[in-house]
Structure 1
């Protein structure tokens, strides 16, 4: 991190909060999360990472307490209102934070403790008893006191990457073995989806007992001859509810009829296919991985890469960092939703006004629908779902506070009953069947992780087993399919929900990066189908098709908003003139844009932009057509 950039962010933080502090307009209850989020961002720690550690539960003397903020293994922050004594105060400040720190397990115990009243910072390393102090007025001058925070998020991601890469390699080895013994690709993809879910479930309390799937694998014949048939029986069991279960006490409970509904025996055992000792051992090796540490956000991309790197290159697919995904997710909808939440939670509750505002926002977010028309392994959808769930948790936490203050008694399952954001609000199109399978299971895995997070936050066990309806992710050529009709067609013979234009709110994603000359014959055909109405379409990159198709969706529902990643060639030179003139004439305008930045594509630097766009009201169309060149030039300056 460059020092000048660090100092500039520190100065922005200081200028934002110092006037409020000097006027005495801040309090722990109203401003602590905003203050801590801004503080963390100075050091490159995103709101997504910091938000996960708010209100962290810790058990002390048989009761649960809440840590204001925790960065596991690094830092606890205990916020106090202005004027509260930070040191030598048994019920607040450093002493309170120290009790929380000592009660945490070794995987979470932090090195540093920070007590803060918005103006004064008291930082201590309990192991060495070293103490650093500063004030908001001197924050920029003393910025080096907090240098230990720099690089925290990157270190976390690096550790995650290693763990996920190891798991992906083990799973891809199993996938290749399965193909080698004769299982057809579609059946193999479905089989791998179920295996990955079982491995994850074995370490995250989805199954009744952790380790039961590993034991199941080890109990099969050493030559692997009965492994496939035993898996087929297991999947039937996971698809059988308790009411229909006949026989001895089951080791595996009912999961649902979505993930395990299709009987794979006709693709496998009915054809005389069997596994071998190599497949069995690869599965057992994979079961020794700690799947509770696997991230659904990056595992899918790594699994794809481990399967067939050359095919991924041909498809123009790319690994995507969570930081870059959030540039779209935040700019497109989450920043606005968080602003709505801040307004709602700071509303006076006279006459129940705050509670009503929070409930209105809750109703709003559970009614939103999202589409990634080039979803790959689903990482954009997975991150979007996680961020929406975390906002829902914050809304429910505020509603619980209102009920408690109003003297109302909460039901024992209040949180479980009121968590209503579902993976079924998310739709995806993807041309590769194995990526479809990875994306579907990734959404379910993130749903479970969010249930674990909710359990820790609220002290109530939150489990959605049997699984609720899955994400609506289907195999289709996004450039030739009608984005709405294709879901209705699949709805007839699957659990996929239909999607009408009026239902859709946001389009987001990362279309493939390919120049026209690098496209395969099939890709050229799809490209032409989507863009042929645009004069000069052969000069457009492959990704332009998704911009044009998004604009077509907006003609059916002008309320749809979109944001897509593309190489920066889409915003400069002849190609930009061809594409954006056509879109401007349809009444499309640029909502926001992120300047060119590097995107690592398996070691090759690709320069990309993120462009948010929407349709203007019809009454503005004539002036836009007349001034398209002017707007286009402004857009070029923006990106």
Structure 2
């Protein structure tokens, strides 16, 4: 995404039209910079001229039929109140499948689009001083209200329109703010492209690249979705690494080869984000092409220096201390010219385009001989992972954040900036302690996406705190933000566990360097043990001793359920094995021990339902910290034997409720070697939650869709 934004529109043409020259841009800036005052009256003229500057189509004249013109000012939407009464709201500017725009305006009581102060007084919120972010600006209440209003309007759009990928806020003559949600859910509009660049001031429009990516929002907003480019770039890198892995495995242990290549991966990433000098690893690889025997000693020197934080003669620079488990006693294999060339080709890619959520899966395939032939044939699309993570983790956190913003606004209106800031800082502290578990984490896709989305929310929190006067600095407010230490995982595959840990650190460092005002403290990597190899369903004495001795199955001694870490949210995609296939796939002894540890489960239940049952039990324990859990399951969850597991918890003395229930959803990307997979998604919370899903059967005679179950998850 960031490469797209930085390179788009660098020529003299935009969308086939001649781009504005410097004189036209300066004239626009000068004319509208003087426009403070009657913002509502100025808004249509400002936007019409702005569209000319972008070389995009101007809004069309409205008609009496809203469906006839879906790019217009004052687009009407029907809003339902708590009592069922309907009112008509109007989006300041709307373009179907592109964006909804709201203008920051002084709106007096009783006038259209009235905004009342949070304190409930009759006073209008005080106008915030204009200028770039700083303590002197204070909290821009009207921009916050404009975003809240835009989200409410998007929720009221016709279902056939879908959720627009962008919300734009406009402060006429001053700036724009951009928020995006490419998931199609409308529950996580976050700063776009990041905290440092989501606000575009009038003077920033001098940059043709900025004008060009804004113009894309008008014409092709989904082209700015980072996952679209990330998938292709990520697959290409994984294919390069697969070739190196295949060659090395002829002479070395595959596990050691995997760890070696993971260190290479992190080093490539580190140089692209300037944690080690720019191009230093690529320069080393180019030198080694001329003298392949130098590869092993030079890389050993580099990695030892990264581990300890000292001068490296290999790259001729003083390096930061990385530590962690990554570079402790690093093993380096000698490579020939072909292997070095493949590493160099992988390093030449822009690692800002690599999505760890996809890369983890592909890296596992690249390093696993049995999977290598199918590299890239299937992976879980990020949008599908995000859908479940947003509903399980992000939606309740955003509800919390909205409540904090309201309270902070009340404190500010009452003249206490200190109290307002304390509320925001306290929320940030709680966000930085919120824990997420994936008890079948694989390579960490769900954990990475959860961390990524929580970092986006953190960016908004830090922005509000800065506007209230917080000084963001090393050792001060926000010094320890959202990071890998909050994300827990369990998986039986040791290689996948190591990859999950790597992907979390890459994702964390990507966001830290984009959203924080200071470099990460040393050591860059911490030695954590929150992602562990293991069986999330079953342990026994002497685990993990195999259950086979002398080619005969041996019953495990003292089988029992393992403890899961105490967390606020559980989300994941446990393995799919049908109830009738359990003994054939897992063995008689294991299945017998599993049934002994889970006597409440019926014998026809699929394996994934054991994870579901365990999470549901934890959700209702006295004093539990768990707020929600969400799982991908087989779409057979609607069938009798699986439904019994769910209904037992829905109808218990301490019931749970389903907040999201999608009975049939596409999952893995089908390639020539894979069939399309259909799954179900469920999200649950404790207690009776309004009109939550009360049954798991599809509507009679209906095609299975996301609307097949009655649930309280809202529009779409």
TM-score, reference length from structure 2: 0.63
Q: What CA deviation, in whole Å up to 9, does each residue of 1:151-170 have, x standing for no partner?
A: 446x6533221111111211
Give, in angstroms, the shift of residue 378 of structure 1.
Answer: 0.9
Structure-2 change in CA distance of 1:313 and 1:327 (3 Å): farther
Kept after mapping to 1: 8 A contact 2:441/2:490:
yes
Contact 1:380 1:508 survives alignment (8 Å): yes
Partners of 2:249 and 2:536 lie apart in 1 by 27
Partner of 1:136: none
Give the one of 338, 344, 356 matched to 1:284.
344
* Residues 65-94 of structure 1: per-residue CA shift (max 9 Å, x gap): 96412779xxxxxxxxxxxxxxxxxxxxxx
What are the equivalent positions in structure 2 for 1:54-133 lying under 5 Å apart?
A: 67-69=176-178, 99-103=203-207, 105=209, 109-110=212-213, 112=215
Which shifted more, 437-446 or 298-307? 298-307
Partner of 1:609: 680
Corresponding residue number in structure 2 for 1:541: 606
Segments of 5+ residues of structure 1 without an aligned counterpart are: 56-64, 73-95, 115-145, 405-409, 487-498, 621-628
The CA distance in 2 between the partners of 1:230 and 1:12, in whole Å, is 66
RMSD: 4.4
Q: Equivalent residues in 2 for 1:129-528 (5 A)?
A: 148-149=219-220, 151-152=222-223, 156-182=226-252, 184-207=253-276, 209-220=277-288, 222=290, 224-242=292-310, 251=317, 253-265=319-331, 274-308=334-368, 311=371, 319-347=379-407, 348-349=410-411, 350=414, 351=416, 352-403=418-469, 410=471, 413=474, 417-455=478-516, 460-469=517-526, 472-481=530-539, 503-518=566-581, 521=584, 523-524=586-587
Helix, strand or coil: the match of 2:676? strand
Q: Which moved more, 1:426-435 or 1:274-283?
A: 274-283
* Larger RCO (CA within 8 A; separation ≥ 6): 2
Whether the 8 Å contact between 1:101 and 1:110 is mirrored in structure 2 is no
Contact 2:637-2:643 within 8 A present in 1 as well: yes
How far is 1:290 from its partner? Answer: 1.6
Equivalents in 2 of 1:308, 1:39: separation in Å?
48
- Distance, in Å, in 2 between the alignment partners of 1:633 and 1:111 is 45
* CA deviation after TM superposition for structure 1 residue 171, in Å: 1.9
Of 340-349 and 226-235, the range deviating more from structure 2? 226-235
Tell me by how many angstroms 1:432 deviates.
Answer: 2.1
The match for 1:78 is none
CA distance in 2, matches of 1:13, 1:168: 48
Distance 2:270 2:653 in 1: 48
SS at match of 2:515: helix
Structure 1 residue 590: Cα displacement: 2.8
The unaligned stretches of length 5 or more in structure 2 are 1-65, 81-86, 92-106, 117-140, 182-199, 545-561, 700-707, 712-716
Taking a change above 3 Å as real, the CA distance of residues 326 and 37 of structure 1, as seen in their structure-2 partners, is: farther
What SS does the aligned partner of 1:187 have?
Answer: helix
Report what 1:564 is aligned to. 631
Q: 1:10 to 1:439 in 2, by over 3 A?
A: farther
Report the equivalent of 1:18.
Answer: 90
Secondary structure of 1:180 counterpart: coil
- Which piece of structure 1 moves more, 430-439 or 536-545? 536-545
Mark the CA change 1:411 to 1:382 in structure 2 (over 3 Å): closer, same or farther: closer
1:588 & 1:394 partners in 2: Cα distance? 35
Show CA shifts across 1:248-275 (max 9, x none).
995261342214343144xx6xxxx633
- Relative to structure 1, the CA distance from residue 278 to residue 593 in structure 2 (aligned partners, 3 Å threshold; closer, same or farther) is same
Shift in Å at residue 514 of structure 1? 2.8
**Alpha-carbon distance in 2 for matches of 1:588, 1:313:** 46
- How far apart are the structure 2 equivalents of 1:66 and 1:468? 38
SS at match of 1:232: helix
Shift of 1:613: 2.8
CA 1:630–1:296: 2 relative to 1, 3 Å: closer
Confirm or deny that 1:33 pairs with 2:147: yes
Distance in 1, Cα, partners of 2:372 & 2:151:
37
Q: Output the TM-score relative to the length of structure 1.
A: 0.70
Tell me if the contact between 2:577 and 2:607 (Cα under 8 Å) persists in the aligned partners. yes
Listed one character per residue, the Cα deviations across residues 416-457 of structure 1 (whole Å, up to 9, x for unaligned) are 7534222101111122232222211111111111123214xx
> Relative to 1, partners in 2 of residues 1:45 and 1:177: Cα closer, same or farther, differing over 3 Å?
farther
Count matched residues.
Answer: 522
Other structure's SS at 2:667 match = strand
- Bigger share in helix: 1
